[in-house]
């Protein structure tokens, strides 16, 4: 499924099989998660995507050949961070997520809305056995960038999650595992998201414009809505950390300084490091994180994106190419 131009639907087509270059593995895609970032790319909200482009950066598949780290048949995940230069000041200080020349799967590199993909094997991760292919796909971005956002939110006990979709539904489980209390903020009246949050251990779920029964020590904003920043500050306790976890957000409105006063912090989280990926993939089966997924055949990628845009996906949307889709419906 190819993006020819932002703002247009993806086009189903046959492409030549990708050839793995030096250090790259060729992977038969079993499942690819649909991320809000995919929507931002397709809608033209992120600058300079590769075009034409295969989007998708939560890829689970089996190695067919190439590279050095894996053997044919190994099941691996291909995440968002696809390549770094290893030599800029950020790479040199353990912050490859901020690399000046980073390349990203499904944005500046072709991704996983396809039957085959190639990837630099240094950035791929083994997928824990506990998960079926489609269940594992959302771990690769919703999970591990959500996990990075949770780390950046500090140790606060009372955690607010704004936008209870693919990422929040995973982060809530990790936070509960760490003994935190979770408060879920959704669009007004989004009962499906609120009930999912309560099922996954949130002690309260309500409208994102309001406040929880107690002030928050930390909040993570997954919804790309700038107005939520002052809303989260209003709902927060002294010293709270507000983390903006998305790659794109509408403009932040101005707000009185008193909302930020008392050592509240606003920060963003960008991308991931290989360390984040390894840490989270080891942690997920221990929690154990269970993913709530809605599976679509690959050729229905535009429908999956439309449902995500409309806030109609419960948990995470996942695409499966024809071969895996047929196998999964027979199971
Ligand atoms: Zn770098
Ligand atoms: Zn993503």
Residue 271 alpha carbon to ligand 1 centre in Å? 13
Residue 261 alpha carbon to ligand 2 centre in Å? 32
At residue 243, the pLDDT reads: 98
DSSP structure class, residue 123: G
Residue 89 alpha carbon to ligand 1 centre in Å? 7
Residue 218 alpha carbon to ligand 1 centre in Å? 30
Q: Rounded to 5, what percent of the chain is helix, strand, coil?
A: 30, 25, 45
At residue 194, the pLDDT reads: 96
Residue 177 alpha carbon to ligand 2 centre in Å? 23
By CB neighbour count within 10 A (0-12 exposed, 13-18 middle, 19+ buried), where does 155 fall?
exposed
CA atoms of 106 and 11, how far apart (whole Å): 15
**Is the pLDDT reported for residue 327 higher than 80?**
no
Contact in structure between 318 and 32 (CB atoms under 8 Å): yes
Q: Strands (DSSP E) along the chain, which ranges? A: 24-34, 59-66, 75-78, 81-83, 103-104, 116-120, 125-126, 158-162, 181-186, 204-207, 216-221, 236-244, 265-268, 293-297, 316-320
pTM to 2 decimal places: 0.95
CA atoms of 138 and 144, how far apart (whole Å): 9
Which ligand number lies closest to the CA of residue 90?
Answer: 1
**Is the pLDDT reported for residue 32 higher than 80?**
yes
Residue 103 alpha carbon to ligand 1 centre in Å? 10
Residue 22 alpha carbon to ligand 2 centre in Å? 26
Residue 256 alpha carbon to ligand 2 centre in Å? 32
CA atoms of 139 and 260, how far apart (whole Å): 33
Residue 72 alpha carbon to ligand 2 centre in Å? 26
Query: Can you read off the two tokens belonging to residue 66?
Result: 């190439």
CA atoms of 101 and 120, how far apart (whole Å): 15
**Nearest Cα residue to 149 out of 99, 221, 217, 78:** 221
**Is the pLDDT reported for residue 331 higher than 60?**
no
Contact in structure between 139 and 163 (CB atoms under 8 Å): no
Residue 317 alpha carbon to ligand 1 centre in Å? 31
Q: Encode pLDDT of 63-86 as tens digits.
A: 999 999 999 999 999 999 999 999
At residue 329, the pLDDT reads: 66
Helix, strand counts (H, E) of the chain: 9, 15
The Cβ-side half-sphere exposure at 204, using a 13 Å CA radius, reads: 18
Q: Encode pLDDT of 200-242 as tens digits.
A: 999 999 999 889 999 999 999 999 999 999 999 999 999 999 9
Alpha helix (H) ranges present in 43-123?
Answer: none
Which ligand number lies closest to the CA of residue 106?
Answer: 2
Distance of CA 1 to the CA centre of its chain: 20
Residue 246 alpha carbon to ligand 2 centre in Å? 8
**Is the pLDDT reported for residue 197 higher than 70?**
yes
């Amino acid at each position: 499924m190819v993006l020819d131009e932002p703002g247009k639907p993806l086009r189903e087509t046959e492409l030549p099989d990708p050839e793995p270059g030096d250090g790259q593995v060729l992977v038969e895609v079993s499942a690819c998660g649909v991320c809000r970032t995919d929507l931002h790319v397709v809608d033209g909200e992120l600058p300079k995507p590769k075009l034409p482009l295969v989007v998708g950066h939560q890829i689970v598949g089996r190695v067919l050949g190439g590279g050095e780290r894996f053997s044919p048949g190994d099941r691996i995940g291909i995440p968002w961070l696809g390549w770094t230069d290893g030599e800029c000041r950020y790479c040199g200080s353990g912050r490859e997520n901020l690399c000046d020349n980073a390349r990203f799967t499904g944005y500046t590199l072709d991704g996983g809305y396809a039957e085959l993909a190639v990837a630099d094997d240094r950035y791929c991760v083994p997928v824990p056995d506990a998960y079926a292919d489609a269940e594992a796909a959302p771990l690769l971005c919703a999970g591990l960038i959500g996990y990075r956002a949770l780390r950046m939110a500090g140790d606060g006990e009372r955690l607010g999650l704004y936008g209870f979709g693919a990422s929040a539904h995973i982060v809530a489980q990790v936070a509960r595992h760490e003994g935190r209390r979770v408060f879920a903020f959704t669009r007004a009246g989004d009962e499906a998201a609120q009930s999912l949050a309560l099922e996954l251990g949130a002690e309260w779920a309500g409208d994102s414009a309001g406040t929880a029964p107690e002030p928050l020590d930390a909040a993570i904003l997954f919804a790309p809505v700038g107005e939520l920043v002052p809303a989260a500050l209003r709902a927060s306790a002294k010293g709270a950390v507000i983390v903006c976890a998305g790659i794109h957000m509408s403009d932040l409105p101005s707000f009185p300084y008193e909302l930020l006063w008392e050592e509240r912090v606003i920060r963003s989280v960008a991308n991931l490091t290989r360390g984040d990926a390894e840490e989270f993939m080891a942690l997920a089966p221990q929690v154990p994180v269970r993913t709530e997924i809605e599976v679509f055949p690959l050729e229905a990628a535009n429908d999956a994106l439309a449902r995500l845009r409309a806030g109609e996906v419960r948990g995470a949307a996942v695409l499966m190419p024809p071969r895996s889709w047929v196998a999964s419906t027979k199971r």
